[in-house]
Chains A and B, each alone.
Chain A
Amino acid sequence: MIRYSILLFGIIATFLIAMFGLTILPKIFIDEGVKDPTYFTPFEVREGHRIFVREGCIYCHSKQTRPEGFGADVERGWGRASEATDYRNLLPHNLGTMRTGPDLANIGARQPGEEWHYINLYQPRAINEESIMPQFPWLFEVFSEDARPGRDGLNLPERFRIPGMKILPADEARYLVAYLISLDQETGVQ
């Protein structure tokens, strides 16, 4: 026979102890080392992070590299093992749990070229025929060839071009790419 009061006490106690252990205790241990009110994130990067979250990139790309000897993240050239201090101000966190696509913790160092990112975001199949990444055409603007003289459209393969038109990154694409390029373990802090 289990008494109601004991039952309720046990239910709440088991919950609170574990909650303290897994949410409050990590906060006490980690926060101090990573909270840095003076740390400055440029506007473009901040906006880019917002778009990264909005488009749900995290459901296919993790943003954490595992230590050497545990998986092959380092051997694959995805960067050194991530540390808590790599992650500072940008919320929500983007550690991720899935690698349908490659890890992005160090993508800025691995792919520093903006043009590469623009093409990959506009049409991933233009970079890698076998990619299953979604396209993000709503981050781009289509202009006629004559508009905006001096700005070249994306250098897409023939089959992805729109005849007589050129594709230029809109602000959102520029922010997102600024964010992706800022993901560099040596210089940037995410």
Chain B
Amino acid sequence: MSQAKKSKQRKEFNVADLDRKARYVVLFLILSGVFWLLFGTLLALVASIKMHLPDWLGSAGWLTFGRVRPLHLNVMVYGWASLTGAGVSLWMLSRLLKVPIPLRGYIIVAGAIWNIALLVGSIQILAGFSRGIEWLEFPVSTMVVIVLCVIIMARSVIVMVMTRSVKQLYVSVWYIIAAFVWFPLLGLVSSFPIFDTPTVQAGMNWWYAHNALGLWFTPIGLAAAYYFIPKVLGRPIYSYGLSLLGFWGLALFYNWNGFHHLIGSPLPTWFITISIAASVMMIIPVVVVAVNHHMTVVGSFSAVTYSPTLRFVVFAAMSYTFVSLQGSMQALRSVNEVIHFTHFVIAHAHIGMYAFVTMMLFGACYYILPRITLREWHSKKLIKWHFWLTAIGIIIYAGALQGIGIFQGFSMNDPDVPFTDTVTMTIPYLIARSVSGILMSAGHLIFVWLLIRMVFQPGEQPETPLIWEKIRKEFAL
């Protein structure tokens, strides 16, 4: 019996089987995410334009900046990045552990409930029932539902690890396990009603918000980088030892980073100092991961010209290095004194969530979707447009807001400059931000168009992918 069970567990699945079984569940999660991406993009444009045209759509309460802006964040974080990230993670795990995704029916139901929770939460924020805590504006009920859905997916992750048919756990697997353990814990702790005094709640707020990025999106993003870079190039990751150091460095230090958002606040200084120290320590895992990825890509850099996946993933991995090192610097008191409370930080957050996480997910989608749908992307040219619109968009965004953010900070710290001047000086750059937003939105629309053509209009199906032909032939993927 146990022999039979064991042999059953060790059954080898080929990738075609795995992808076929993953088809509906992964497709559902990715498409749900993309729906929220579009909705979030619309909210982003409204919020951005309102910053320089304050009376535009100004008479309706539910469209006021203070409701649209938090909803934009929540939809992007818990809708787009979480749903798509979960789909991408489950697919990678199935491939890496060579077992089909278990509990597929449950995951689809959980995904559907998750979508409904997002819809209800969105209406609640627009109607004025925000929880009022940054990154946690969705009412606790929505948050708890999302956490339960992630727990179902986490259960699937654990089952895959237990029944895997490979012996070794690749570095991406560590990150994915960590993400699916950390996020439910984070969500649950943040929903406990024990943080019932304002300053303690502020501490919990930034512990949570920073960790949502650091312990949920970052591990998923890095898992994807560790998976797709070697996969597309067909060569192993440069160093196992560096992978190990990078992973445990992140687990040890990222957890402690949150309070650097509270420098100068009335919370006890020694908590904040711990966070500053941990933020600086983050340089270790970040540099280690960057070296590991760079040494893997080095020599094959030209592959980015023919692999859209690699192009997005490399852009995202470079952004991760950049944004993390920038984050370590921003945590220093002398730097924070200037950039805290300015648009610099807003841009920093977008480099993290967009240039890193979102671009990484785009790259993953370009790889995964043809394999699970067995259909081809319809236009190589449009994929290039998608990349350049979004890449140039986020570069303009970051350049404009971080550039002016520094001047805004210095002006704010100079009591001789009237406060109004710190507002008016930013207006041209806020307009530039709206322009960059339009570029990114155009990129998203192209992506959605490609997705619709692929998923809902099968048309003619080429034998092999147009773009990855070279790689596919070479490595028999």
Query: Is A147 part of the binding interface, using a Cβ–Cβ cutoff of 8 Å?
Result: no
Shortest Cβ distance from residue B375 to the other chain A in the assembled complex, whole angstroms: 36
A102–B419 contact, CB under 8 A? yes
Query: Is A116 part of the binding interface, using a Cβ–Cβ cutoff of 8 Å?
Result: no
Could you say which of A54, A81, A101 has the most chain B C-beta atoms within 10 Å of its C-beta?
A: A54
Residues of A within 8 A of B198 (CB): 34, 87-95, 190
The distance in angstroms between the C-alpha atoms of A64 and B206, with both chains bound, is 15
Residues of B within 8 A of A22 (CB): 203-204, 207, 255-256, 258-259, 271, 274-275
A97–B264 contact, CB under 8 A? no
With A11-B182, A76-B415, A137-B59 as given contacts, are A56 and B201 in contact (CB-CB < 8 Å)? no
Name A25's closest neighbour in chain B (CB-CB): B271
Query: Is B476 part of the binding interface, using a Cβ–Cβ cutoff of 8 Å?
Result: no
Q: Give the contact stretch, choosing among B22-30, B61-69, B284-292, B440-448.
A: B61-69
Name B47's closest neighbour in chain A (CB-CB): A59
B55–A2 contact, CB under 8 A? no
Query: Is A26 part of the binding interface, using a Cβ–Cβ cutoff of 8 Å?
Result: yes
- Per-residue 0/1 for A10-36: is the Cβ within 8 Å of any B Cβ (1 yes, 0 no)? 111011011101110111011100110
Query: Is A43 part of the binding interface, using a Cβ–Cβ cutoff of 8 Å?
Result: no
- Per-residue 0/1 for B226-258: is the Cβ within 8 Å of any A Cβ (1 yes, 0 no)? 000000000000000000100010011001101
Point out the residue from B275, B341, B414 that lies within 8 Å of A97, measured CB to CB. Answer: B341
B197–A35 contact, CB under 8 A? yes
Residues of A within 8 A of B169 (CB): 2, 4, 7
Shortest Cβ distance from residue A126 to the other chain B in the assembled complex, whole angstroms: 12
Name B194's closest neighbour in chain A (CB-CB): A27
Point out the residue from B61, B66, B266 that lies within 8 Å of A64, measured CB to CB. Answer: B266
A71–B268 contact, CB under 8 A? no
Point out the residue from A53, A64, A91, A128 that lies within 8 Å of B201, measured CB to CB. Answer: A91
Residues of A within 8 A of B205 (CB): 93
The distance in angstroms between the C-alpha atoms of A58 and B136, with both chains bound, is 13
Residues of B within 8 A of A155 (CB): none
Residues of B within 8 A of A70 (CB): 264, 333, 337
B65–A134 contact, CB under 8 A? yes
A136–B64 contact, CB under 8 A? yes
A23–B207 contact, CB under 8 A? yes
Residues of B within 8 A of A10 (CB): 248, 251
Name B408's closest neighbour in chain A (CB-CB): A99
Query: Is B51 part of the binding interface, using a Cβ–Cβ cutoff of 8 Å?
Result: yes
B64–A130 contact, CB under 8 A? no
Query: Is B340 part of the binding interface, using a Cβ–Cβ cutoff of 8 Å?
Result: yes
Residues of A within 8 A of B266 (CB): 64, 81-84, 86-87
B423–A132 contact, CB under 8 A? yes
Query: Is B199 part of the binding interface, using a Cβ–Cβ cutoff of 8 Å?
Result: yes
Query: Is B177 part of the binding interface, using a Cβ–Cβ cutoff of 8 Å?
Result: yes
A99–B202 contact, CB under 8 A? no
With A82-B265, A93-B133, A100-B423 as given contacts, are A21 and B274 in contact (CB-CB < 8 Å)? yes
- Per-residue 0/1 for B417-430: is the Cβ within 8 Å of any A Cβ (1 yes, 0 no)? 00110111001000
Q: Give the contact stretch, choosing among B33-41, B88-96, B124-132, B297-305.
A: B124-132
Residues of A within 8 A of B196 (CB): 91
Interface size on A, residues (CB 8 A): 74
Interface size on B, residues (CB 8 A): 81
With A30-B267, A84-B267 as given contacts, are A135 and B59 in contact (CB-CB < 8 Å)? yes
Interface SS of chain B: helix
Shortest Cβ distance from residue A179 to the other chain B in the assembled complex, whole angstroms: 13
B413–A59 contact, CB under 8 A? no
Shortest Cβ distance from residue A59 to the other chain B in the assembled complex, whole angstroms: 5
Query: Is A62 part of the binding interface, using a Cβ–Cβ cutoff of 8 Å?
Result: yes
Query: Is A165 part of the binding interface, using a Cβ–Cβ cutoff of 8 Å?
Result: no
The distance in angstroms between the C-alpha atoms of A1 and B264, with both chains bound, is 44
Query: Is A67 part of the binding interface, using a Cβ–Cβ cutoff of 8 Å?
Result: yes
Residues of B within 8 A of A99 (CB): 341-342, 412, 422
CB proximity to A under 8 Å, residues B292-334:
333
Residues of A within 8 A of B259 (CB): 22
B59–A15 contact, CB under 8 A? no
Query: Is B453 part of the binding interface, using a Cβ–Cβ cutoff of 8 Å?
Result: no
A76–B419 contact, CB under 8 A? yes
B67–A131 contact, CB under 8 A? no
A2–B244 contact, CB under 8 A? yes
Name B427's closest neighbour in chain A (CB-CB): A132
Query: Is A143 part of the binding interface, using a Cβ–Cβ cutoff of 8 Å?
Result: no
Query: Is B70 part of the binding interface, using a Cβ–Cβ cutoff of 8 Å?
Result: yes
Residues of A within 8 A of B108 (CB): none
Query: Is A156 part of the binding interface, using a Cβ–Cβ cutoff of 8 Å?
Result: no
Shortest Cβ distance from residue B269 to the other chain A in the assembled complex, whole angstroms: 10
A55–B264 contact, CB under 8 A? no
With A23-B204, A70-B337, A132-B51 as given contacts, are A34 and B345 in contact (CB-CB < 8 Å)? no
Shortest Cβ distance from residue B183 to the other chain A in the assembled complex, whole angstroms: 10
Point out the residue from B54, B262, B346 that lies within 8 Å of A134, measured CB to CB. Answer: B54
Shortest Cβ distance from residue A169 to the other chain B in the assembled complex, whole angstroms: 15
Name B164's closest neighbour in chain A (CB-CB): A4
Shortest Cβ distance from residue A34 to the other chain B in the assembled complex, whole angstroms: 5
Query: Is B449 part of the binding interface, using a Cβ–Cβ cutoff of 8 Å?
Result: no
Task: Give 15 CB contacts A-B under 8 Å.
Answer: A15-B255, A19-B185, A21-B271, A30-B200, A34-B199, A55-B67, A82-B266, A84-B266, A87-B199, A94-B132, A133-B54, A134-B50, A135-B54, A137-B58, A190-B198
Interfacial residues, chain A to chain B (CB-CB below 8 A): 1-2, 4, 7-8, 10-12, 14-15, 17-19, 21-23, 25-27, 29-31, 34-35, 53-60, 62, 64, 66-67, 70-72, 75-76, 81-84, 86-95, 97-102, 124-125, 128, 130-138, 190
Q: Which 5 A-B pairs have CB atoms at the shortest separation, nearest pair first?
A: A56-B66, A18-B255, A87-B198, A75-B415, A53-B132
Known: A56-B130, A84-B267. 6 other contacts (CB 8 A): A12-B181, A22-B203, A87-B199, A92-B132, A98-B341, A99-B342
